[in-house]
A and B are shown apart, each in its own frame.
Chain A
């Protein structure tokens, strides 16, 4: 009788838990990511076992972001910190120092630099001329814009998640495998679509597209603002106009948060089309996650090239 009662209680408990999908909010691993792109990748692997917040809103220049008091309180509660690294989110160092949690520091158990093991482009060291121009000596930080790099980034994320939550390591691994499978199919699709734009010269506002260019063989022939934040000089613009005319460049790429005036000016002078590409998940409503970010960009580029 007693045994029977106990088993009933157990059954009741099991019934109560089951509909909640096995994970309650309090059991989720709390993660802070600097950008929406890392958030999307972490969610792709962690699924409902993680709850990720991003610090920089989409459409804000992450390199110029100013941390808010809430960011600090988020850091105090988080179990894992994901950052882009490569000098992209330098302000994060100060924020982490203020959080006063040694495990969040560089090399700590809860610290994940997602640029780990990435083959960086535009590594210039100091002052090797601003020609291709980024402010970063250590390399171009927009590495997540090569979808193939997501394999490396998710590998880093998997290691960090499994280390902090060993019980669910298997589930993270299988979710990652499923994601990579979807990603591989998507990359094949994007490559097929963008074959039409291969090698076609483009102008971009800023050198954010090196990795995208390398993966899909796009030809970014010039940049409007070679040094970030410093308006272009007349001779630079004259050079660009001459380049656009001589190479018959028909497309100018701009991000939504970059100033429209310069791109529109060049467009008016040369008749090139201005196309909005986004570097971060959420910067346009269509880019809801990492994969749809590329869907949007690929379609926008194709439309701009008139295919």
Chain B
């Protein structure tokens, strides 16, 4: 537990800072309908860093940051100038083009300097887990200044007006946005920054009215999701960035699903219930049909239920099948253990005790390969037994699943309509 705390408190602080500034920027981005602008600007920043690298500035030097910022500002000018450039094509199209071209150009440049590949990958994936305190100290003043600036200019930013003044306000927004994104993407990577930008702001907009309340709600959601993401990543041994992105996504899904319940409205709630029942019904009906058509194929529903409750096997396998299945399972595990033991022995012998000669290493390798093949054989037996059992019971299982599916179909509405129609007929 103390290990977890020692490792996670700094990433959590980073997540707090990222939530703070990005939820606010996210509201602007949602309002302006320029969802993917952060990807485009981050990629432009990466292109700038690559150019700096090609010109001999070391990674994360002042020169490298200057080039990133310069490129981002240029892109900001372009974006500000093209807000309503044709009136026929949405600006989002241009943003997409900027992203793609910047990414391709960076790769073309990196072709000439192979060491840069890892650098570009780093900018795009980031790793919030191994962020240092000095990285954080470097970005906090920037976030504060830019956050303050944007807050003071919020009225003008919302209504930039026309002409060169409008362009200037737009440019101010893109420049601030670009500077924030450039530094935050270097900390956490594009995927996570995109989640910080869009998801808390979107949940705020879903549930609250008024910029202030939306912001407060967005911040709370962002902090909670970050905390859950970090804990999930620690508890389930998962890469932190990806785990956090998935938790943010789940938060949005949950918020979307709960909205009818929270905002009241019996009608909406009923719709939600109907939709859920339809989905469940379709899953049951399809699974029932699929097990009758192709009992030996993958059965996603049955497989996942069996994975969650292995005891179910005793229900549908007969005694002989169960015996073969358990036998194969125990052999498979034994082979795995034996292989692990041999691997361990060989790895230890590299530095400890007597060194193994080539012949002994080869013998171990061929044992390992045999164990692996034998284990695959046992896994095949398990699968075959299960498939045969399913094949045997398919005419019971399939119709049962279909019956379950039919039970889930929401007939009530149409029945009520029947009743209503009958009532109106009677009235007539």
Contacts and interface: CB of A to CB of B under 8 A. Distances in A.
A124 B339 contact: yes
B336 interface: yes
A199 B372 contact: no
Contacts of A132: 343, 347
B351 interface: yes
Given A230-B239, A265-B130, A218 B368 contact: no
Given A213-B350, A219-B351, A128 B117 contact: no
B185 interface: no
A261 B368 contact: no
Interface in B151-183: none
Contact of A119 (B129, B230, B239, B362): B362
A262 B130 CA distance: 6
B373 A218 contact: no
B239 A232 contact: yes
Interface string A264-300: 1100100000000000000000000000000000000
A131 B344 CA distance: 10
A214 B3 contact: no
A60 B117 contact: yes
A258 B115 CA distance: 9
A249 to B, nearest CB: 13
B350 A129 contact: no
A132 B340 CA distance: 10
Interface in A106-128: 119-126, 128
Contacts of B117: 60, 257
Contacts of A261: 122, 127, 130
A196 to B, nearest CB: 13
B240 interface: yes
B4 interface: yes
B343 A122 contact: yes
B271 interface: no
A234 B355 contact: no
B267 interface: no
Nearest to B234: A234
Interface residues of A, number: 46
Nearest to A201: B351
A125 B369 contact: yes
A119 B373 CA distance: 19
Main secondary structure of the interface of B (DSSP, over half): helix
Nearest to A200: B351
Contact of B234 (A120, A213, A235, A257): A235
A214 B8 CA distance: 36
A139 interface: yes
Interface in B106-164: 114-115, 117-118, 121-122, 125, 127, 129-130, 132
Contact of A233 (B6, B122, B237, B346): B237
Interface residues of B, number: 51
A232 B8 CA distance: 13
B317 to A, nearest CB: 24
Contacts of B355: 214, 217
Contacts of B114: 57-60, 257
Contacts of B22: none
* A57, A123, A128, A233, most chain B CB atoms within 10 A: A123
B365 interface: yes
Interface in A218-265: 218-219, 230-238, 241-242, 256-259, 261-262, 264-265
Contacts of A60: 114, 117
Nearest to A60: B114
B351 A258 contact: no
Contacts of B235: 235
17 contacts: A119-B359, A122-B343, A123-B365, A123-B368, A125-B339, A125-B368, A125-B373, A128-B336, A128-B368, A128-B372, A198-B351, A217-B355, A238-B7, A241-B7, A242-B3, A258-B118, A268-B132
